[in-house]
Amino acid sequence: MGAPLAKDQEVDLKIDSLAYGGNGVARSNGFVVFVKRGLPGDTVRARVTKVKRNHAEALALEVVEPGAPRVEAPCQHYPECGGCKFQDLAYEAQVEAKHEQVGDALRRIGGIQDPPLEPIISAKSLFHYRNKLEYSFTQTLEGPASGFHLAGRWDAVFDVEFCWLTTDLGNAVRETVDTWARGDRLEAYDQETHTGYLRHLVLREGRNTGQLLVQLVTAKGERFDRDQFVEELRRFPEVRSIHWSVNETPAEITNLPTELLWGEEWIEEELCGLRFRVRPNAFLQTNTEMAEVLYGLAVEYAGLTGNETVYDLYCGTGTIGLAMASQALTVWGIEVSEESVACALENADLNEITNAAFYAGEVGQAVEELRDRAGLPDVVVVDPPRAGLSGKALRRIGRMEASRIVYVSCNPTTLASNVKELAKEWGYRLERVRAVDMFPHTPHIETVALLVRGDPSPASSL
């Protein structure tokens, strides 16, 4: 039987739930349709945009019958902005949907009928929670302005007036940079013609220290007055570190070598009672407040007694490993970004932690070398990017037979498939799992899972 829908057809659809990634899920005569801008509970008029063998995709055009628990979206740029997808969906419904998505992934992809899913932890702050914002420049009638991409448009950037995910300080510094750029008669870079100059502005804020790092990304050549730029930014006492990067490639990236224009090379952030150095290209969880909650959960799942050898794989600037160090015998981290490893080593020193070491390398390649140096681990913490563990990394970690794996995941679908593999090939059982909402109004989900080797103990199987 062919698909019951055709491309460009308009249909009324009742949205049942939210899929991972943020699209609504509906059924048309049993056929699954993923609906962009469809919120659970609503009936929407939608246009079919794609039909595949076992599902279709559609775009909601209007709400025919509202059912989703709605609130007023405070942001004037919602829903055009690509940053927030659910500002008008009541927060309780957002977290419920995320909790469901983790359970669904573990059942459907992980093959676990009844996953040991604990209640999701809601975010403490619904707005102003991000410690890092990356703006793209666009050319307006008044001159260059920094903004965000329109939802679903890589090629269109709008001028942001006020962002609800950063702080008042973040908004004020961005505005100051825009005013300076106009005064200096600079031009925004045009992604289509590859002309113009200003490309990106990155602002990172140590939310517990009040320190701010600025990175300006331009096209080739020094076409601005650096002293003037620094002077404008130094009006904010929080600004501690000002960098400049040149991007000569067409790619829209900010992860580039930087030249320090003024101040310290880094800023500091405080997490779990420890100080962390943050350089421009080093990874740091973008919600400081909830990172502390996430790490607290990882520490709890690790169940440390002080005698364990802990591997912190995909360790970034060493945050999780260092948060565990006081409760472990030794901590050993691997991370591919050399800049992050440099920060991790500095962070150990800064906090006078002497039982932790960090190495640069790809986990799949470097983890066996680490075993030769550190001995077999008792606890392995993994915190990979969205793609999850590669086949090689997973096999090599599985072969180490650590009694516990604490898996910190930013993608429940790859978490579920890795959990399945670790169970089938390496004898691990999913013992606890819990989502933490770090990113209200967006589809992102962070999850911590505890995998234990072997059969359940008699007590826990009761």
Ligand X SMILES: C[S@@+](CC[C@H](N)C(=O)[O-])C[C@H]1O[C@@H](n2cnc3c(N)ncnc32)[C@H](O)[C@@H]1O
Active site residues: 410
CA gap 367, 356 in Å, rounded: 16
Q: Which token pair is 57?
A: 């995709």
Give 285 or 330: the residue with its C-beta nearer to ligand X: 285
- Residues that bind ligand X in the complex, under the rule CB under 6 A: 283-285, 314-316, 319-320, 334-337, 340, 362-363, 383, 385, 410
How far is the C-alpha of 412 from the C-alpha of 98, rounded, in Å? Answer: 10
The nearest distance, CB 29 to ligand X, in angstroms, is 40
Q: Which is nearer to ligand X, 241 or 337 (CB)?
A: 337
CB of 159 to ligand X, least distance (A): 31
| Lateral strand order in the sheet of 198-206 | 157-159, 143-149, 132-140, 198-206, 211-218, 239-246, 259-263
Residue 362 beta carbon to ligand X: minimum distance, rounded to whole angstroms: 4
Whether residue 384 is preceded by a cis peptide bond, meaning omega within 30 degrees of 0, is no
Give 93 or 271: the residue with its C-beta nearer to ligand X. Answer: 271
Q: What is the 3-state secondary structure (H, E, C) of the chain?
A: CCCCCCCCCEEEEEEEEECCCCCEEEEECCEEEEEECCCCCCEEEEEEEEECCCEEEEEEEEEEECCCCECCCCCCCCCCECCCCCCCECHHHHHHHHHHHHHHHHHHCCCCCCCCEEEEECCCCCCCCCCEEEEEEEEECCEEEEEEEECCCCCCEEECCCCCCCCHHHHHHHHHHHHHHHHCCCCECECCCCECCEEEEEEEEECCCCEEEEEEEECCCCCCCHHHHHHHHCCCCCEEEEEEEECCCCCCCCCCCCEEEEECCCEEEEECCEEEEECCCCCCCCCHHHHHHHHHHHHHHHCCCCCCEEEEECCCCCHHHHHHHCCCCEEEEEECCHHHHHHHHHHHHHCCCCCEEEEECCHHHHHHHHHHHHCCCCEEEECCCCCCCCHHHHHHHHHCCCCEEEEEECCHHHHHHHHHHHHHHHCEEEEEEEEECCCCCCCCCEEEEEEEECCCCHHHHC
The length of the chain in residues reads: 462
Q: Smallest distance, Å, CB 220 to ligand X?
A: 27
Among residues 233 and 410, whose Cβ is nearest to ligand X?
A: 410
- Indicate the residue among 157 and 367 with the shorter CB distance to ligand X: 367
Q: How far is the CB of 369 from ligand X (least distance, A)?
A: 13
Which residue number has the CB closest to ligand X?
Answer: 316
In whole angstroms, the minimum distance from the beta carbon of 150 to ligand X comes to 27
Give the nearer residue to ligand X in terms of CB position, either 112 or 344. Answer: 344
**Structure token digits, residue 245:** 């990067």
User: Quick one: 258 or 319, whose CB is closer to ligand X?
Assistant: 319
Report the residue number, 188 or 342, with the smaller CB distance to ligand X.
Answer: 342
Residue 329's CB is within 10 A of a number of other CB atoms, namely 15
Q: Provide, rounded to whole angstroms, the least separation between the CB of residue 381 and ligand X.
A: 8
Output the smallest distance, CB 382 to ligand X, in A: 9
> 266 vs 314, which CB is nearer to ligand X?
314
Smallest distance, ligand X to C-beta of residue 25, A: 27
